[in-house]
Amino acid sequence: MSKKLIVVESPTKARTLGRFLPNSFQILASYGHIRDLPAKKLGILVSQNFQPQYEYLEDKKKIIDSLLSAAREVEEIILATDPDREGEAIAFHLDYLFHDKLKKVPQVKRITFHEITQEAIKKALRHPGRIDGNLVQAQQARRLLDRLVGYKLSPLLWYKVRRGLSAGRVQSVVVRLIYEREKEIQAFKPQEYWQVQARFLGEKELLDKFELVKINAGKVKIHSKAELEKLLKWLEKSSYHIASLKRQKITSHPAPPLITSTLQQLASIKYGFNASRTMRTAQALYEKGLITYHRTDSFNLAELSLKEMRQFIKNNYGDEYLPPRPNIYRRKSKLAQEAHEAIRPTKVEIKPQSSQVRSLSRDEGKIYELIWKRSLASQMADWQGERLVVEIGGKKEGNTALFRRRGWRTLFSGWRQLSVSEKEDKELPFFKHLKEGESVSLKKLIPEQKFTLPPKRYTDASLIKKLEEMGIGRPSTYAPILSKIRERRYVEKEEKKFKLTNLGKAVTEFLLRYFPKVMDYNFTARMEDSLDAIAQGEKKWVRLIADFWKWFEPLLGEVKTKAERVKIEVEKIGEKCPKCGGELVIRIGKYGKFISCSNYPKCNYTREYVEKTGLKCSECGGEVIIRRTRKGRRYYACSNYPKCKWMSWRKPR
């Protein structure tokens, strides 16, 4: 039997494949890309139709040698990298390696699969294909565009703002979103208003938490305590009755199975996971053969998996939980590739409570449970319920008031047996003995002073949702982008929300002023559409980059000549420098914030920036402070380090 070599990206994936294949297959990992653009030069021949100058990665020399050594001993090489643009590009560079370095090249085949199971692997081996040139070109176009922007804009930022900065075609636009949200928050002026709730007594039950919604048929607008007191006087003397009582049958269809973006959003909402943590965990589950490929924008489910899920629902929940036919979901977006699948468990029989899942890491168990529940729920019957809206009317001397309360109850749980919805509903009391026109008595008015709130800062979930709505980036790129803008210190996380730094503000304002087209949301979204068109064979990559370079290159020279140097705002701490008497300020360096003298470089005084919490260390009683890793992640530590080495990623209680 001829020996065959299979090449995948990761050793975990290689081990999982090894469980299904006979010894005639040797399986090796490339550990990602083996070729890329050079690190210390542009690596693009602009005058020669933007041809890339790929190089073998220096730190992959041993891996490359082992791949070549194995390739010399086999008759067939099978490239089994992931079924997306990045995976296709890795396969392309591996194919190049073998043809470049081997005198006699074995037959090279390409296989793809969306789940690492014995059945999927065998099917892929029976039907090998070729490397998809369109996907490779789409990946290459993105790589070259990002290199041109980053390599040309970043030195300009060094020259005009501060050394060590970088710009990115998509990352800078993402920072702009956070910048504009910060401006909205700063410009916001809270306004006082009052809400009034009431408690009534009916003939047989207490009617609580009714909210005042109308006064004299108009919306409630109470902006001061004086207005409130005037209103309360006549409300207290009014007579009340049940103005209306409406019951309505309602149904709720299950949500579609998870795709990359909704998985990232749901993991952020339920567990506080950032996008990188979610994707890293999903990658591990995929490579262990427990879920299908996790980089997908399709709601499609394979016919066989639908049959298995429907049988599982019937056996475990009963016929009433099984709809007459499978629930089919379609994305309106033209991006969805129906040949791909949504994220689902490879075997629905592997429950979240099974020993196989309990042996996983804590993160893996949580993400697997989300995927398992959402996939199964998507194929269950509708939730059925009844909505109740009760309105209580009041009247006094020509004035009218209307109080309202809504509630619902479950008639049939349906898919909510496995509910993993983004918003957890709470069933409210259901009033059983009320009749329209019935008189009720007022027991108590409960006014509450409130103030309008500013827009919320973005979390991973809300930012990813916004990016997807605007067509900026793609789900597979969200995690690295959100990580990078934190690493660059353009934003920081506070209570899991993105907050703009002064550095991010300075860079964003510079780019908005001099490179408005690069920072334009619609332009960025159109570029993503163009990359998708290349992947589908509808557009040529050289034309896309040439059109971009035509206006971008002269603008670079113009800005370098005309633009003024930017001064980054610094935050004063109200202390004098012990060395020269100048103001001490907070600056951001390579490893985060530090305190420095405002007279730098004349005065070089610096000290560590300590972010206090007011909490005490549980081990030694010292003060708990906030520190940051080199990548900007916050953690809590004892100020007595290194004597006390207590630390926690979570805020201590």
Q: Provide the annotated active-site residues.
A: 293
> What secondary structure letter does DSSP report for 520?
-
Tokens representing 493? 């996380």
Cβ atoms within 10 Å, residue 9: 22
- What is the sign, positive or negative, of the torsion defined by CA atoms of 82, 33, 61, 73? positive
Task: With both helix axes pointing from N to C terminus, report the angle between 61-71 and 85-101 in degrees, rounded to the nearest 10.
Answer: 70
482 Rama sector, left if φ>0, alpha if ψ -120 to 50, beta otherwise = alpha
Rg (CA), the chain: 30
Instruction: Take residue 431 and report the two structure tokens written for it.
Output: 């009033």
Distance CA 525, CA 522 (A): 5
Distance (Å, rounded) from C-alpha 77 to C-alpha 86?
19
Instruction: Find the distance separating the first CA and the last CA of the chain, reported in whole Å.
Output: 63
The answer to whether residues 577 and 605 touch, using CB atoms and an 8 Å cutoff, is yes
Cis check for the bond before 601: say yes or no (omega within 30 of 0). Answer: yes
Q: Smallest Cα–Cα separation from 298: which of 251, 265, 330, 263?
A: 330
- Residues 355 and 363: their CA atoms lie apart, in Å, by 16
- Neighbouring C-beta atoms of residue 572, cutoff 10 Å: 10
155 vs 152: CA distance, rounded Å: 6
Q: Residue 124 is encoded by which pair of tokens?
A: 């892929």
- Helices 171-187 and 475-487, axial angle in degrees (round to 10): 70
- Is residue 441 classed exposed, middle or buried when 0-12, 13-18 and 19+ CB atoms within 10 A define those classes? exposed
For every residue of 13-51, DSSP letters joined together read: HHHHHHHHS-TTEEEEE--S-SEES-SSS--EEGGGTTE
Does residue 416 contact residue 397 with C-beta atoms inside 8 Å? no
Q: What is the dihedral of CA 57, 58, 62, 63, to 10 degrees?
A: -10
Whether 327 and 252 have beta carbons less than 8 Å apart is answered as: no
| CB-CB contact of 221 with 450 (8 Å) | no
Backbone angles phi, psi at 316, to 5 degrees: -100, -20
Contacts of 199 (CB under 8 A, 6+ apart): 206, 207, 208, 209, 210, 442, 443, 444, 446
Strands 606-608 and 611-616: unpaired
Q: Using CA atoms, how far apart are residues 281 and 360, in angstroms rounded to an integer?
A: 10
The SS3 of residue 583 is strand
